[in-house]
Structures are given as C-alpha cells and as structure tokens.
Amino acid sequence: MARQNTVTEVKVEDITFSPTIIKPPGSTNTFFLGGAGVRGLQIQDKFIKFTAIAVYLEEEKAIPFLALKWKGKTVDELENSDDFYLDIITGPFEKIVLVKMISQLMGQQYAMGLTENCIKFWKTLGNYTESKDKGLLEELIQVFQDEIFPPNSTILFTQSSPTLTIGFSEDGSIPKEGKANIENKRLSEAILGTVLCKGGVSPAARRSLAVRLCDLFKVEEQKAAKC
C-alpha cells in the first residue's frame, strides 16, 4: 500500500510541507513526511522562530524496518526513547531533512550553527574527534559560504548512504538539483541527529515524528493482520 494514502501534510507557521517528495536530488526514491516542526531560540522573553524543519523517510523501507522494533509503543514512549530516534538516524533507508526559512539567514550563519550542532550530536555519542572532523566540517561550511536564504527559501539534505546531497531553492520548491555532494555517512547522520536527538534544534519535529510514526505503525500492524 502506498504510504501517501495514509500520510497527510503538516503546516508549520505559514509553511506547508507536502505528504511526499518524489525523486529529490541525490535519490530516485519516493519519500513520505515523517514529521515537522519549528526551530527557534528563546531570546530574553521572546521565542524567535528561524526555520521550519521537516523529516522525510524512504517510503518502501522505513516503516517496515522501524515497526519491527517499535510497533505497540505509545507516542510518549517513542518520544522519550533516544534509541528510537537513533534507529531513524542510522536505519538502512534514505532520509531527507527539508529546511524552510521563516527569517532570513546568511549562509555562513546557518552553516556555523549547523556545524556546532553536529559537534554536539557527535559528543552525545562519544565519538567526536576535533582533528578528524575539522576538515569535514570546513567542507560543509564551504557549501553555504556565499549563500543568502530569504524567508521561504529551502535547504534540502538528501541522505543516501554514504552520500549527502545538499540543494537550495529560493522559492520554497524542492531543488531540482544538488549544489554539493559529500561522501560521508557519519556527517549525513549527524545532520539528522541535530534535529532528532534529545536537546536538538526542533523538539517540535521530534514530537511530530513520534506522533505520526506511531499512527503508521498501527496501520502496518493492521496490514500484517490481514495477511
């Protein structure tokens, strides 16, 4: 059964994330919307919203793989399990992180925040080595160096192990081609980890995935019961 028959769009602020993405840069597969949420920072007494972030998962492989271990769990059990999100981050299926701008950001500003959060994620796993990772993160920063991201512009990360494809668009659409490919599985996983790990940049997206995947696991169980 096609996943798009059971997956709905998600609205974050004034941004709507579609239920599916078909053949993005870096992949020939179809992806369904796992979840989405806002990213922002509390600055004094005001929460400033910078981006909306969506996570898409490979349609054919993600739910069958994840449901084997996580079906029957409640939303709260999923949301509070680091192992659940690590299974999403490292699972044997392709993923997309789709970022849409709410506020304008300079490319270098975005890249510096991204690399800092990649380091934070690696440190939570206990496998960050500055000497080993410095060059990799500098390569990532160079991809964003001369970019400007106005409101509604898009950054797309397609994670097709071991290749990380990065693409940009100015009009909110899915980029038609990638700007850069980085052949590093660990970096690809870290970018998704910055969104989904506990204390990551978008607790709302983390919660959204738990809610929506919990429902999809129930659909998977119903399918299995009919076989």
Is the pLDDT confidence value at 103 over 70?
Answer: yes
| Contact between 144 and 188 (Cβ < 8 Å) | no
Beta bridge partners of 165: 158, 181
Q: How far is CA 38 from the centre of its chain?
A: 12
Angle at 59 between CA 54 and CA 63, to 5 degrees: 90
Find how far residue 27's CA is from the centre of its chain. Answer: 15
pLDDT at 223 over 80: no
Helices 185-196 + 130-144 axis angle, to 10: 80
pLDDT of residue 196: 96
Residue 126 confidence (pLDDT): 93
Q: Which of helix, strand or coil describes residue 181?
A: strand
Structural domain boundaries in the chain: 3-222
Mean pLDDT (whole number) for 172-198: 95
Calculate ∠ Cα 205-92-56, nearest 5°.
Answer: 30
What is the CATH T-level fold of the domain 3-222, as seen in this structure? Chalcone isomerase (3.50.70)
Compute how many other C-beta atoms are within 10 angstroms of the C-beta atom of residue 198: 12
Measure CA 185 to chain center: 14
Instruction: Kindly state the average pLDDT of the residues 86-101.
Output: 98
AA letter at 220: E
Whether 2 shows a pLDDT value over 70: the answer reads: no
Taking a C-beta distance cutoff of 8 angstroms, is the pair 36, 208 a contact?
A: yes
Work out the angle at residue 211's Cα, subtended by the Cα atoms of residues 226 and 74, and round it to the nearest 5 degrees.
Answer: 70
Question: Which two tokens mark 91?
Answer: 């699972």
Q: Which residues contact 19 (CB under 8 A, 6 or more apart)?
A: 4, 7, 8, 9, 32, 33
The mean pLDDT value for 99-104 works out to 96
At 138-182, the pLDDT tens digits run: 999 999 999 999 999 999 999 998 999 999 999 999 999 999 999
Confidence of residue 45 (pLDDT cuts 50, 70, 90): confident
Residue 201 has a pLDDT of: 95
Tell me what pLDDT residue 104 has.
Answer: 95
**pTM metric for this prediction:** 0.95
Q: Which of 15, 39, 209 is nearest to 113 (CA)?
A: 39
Q: What distance in Å separates the CA atoms of residue 75 and residue 215, rounded to the nearest whole number?
A: 9
Q: What is the pLDDT of residue 73?
A: 97
Per-residue pLDDT for 88 more than 50?
Answer: yes
Closest to 54 in 3D by CA, of 80, 85, 25, 19: 19
More confidently predicted of 220 and 96? 96
Q: Tell me what pLDDT residue 227 has.
A: 59
Is pLDDT of 130 > 60?
yes
Least confident of 15-19, 59-63, 223-227: 223-227
Provide the 8-state DSSP code for 5.
Answer: G
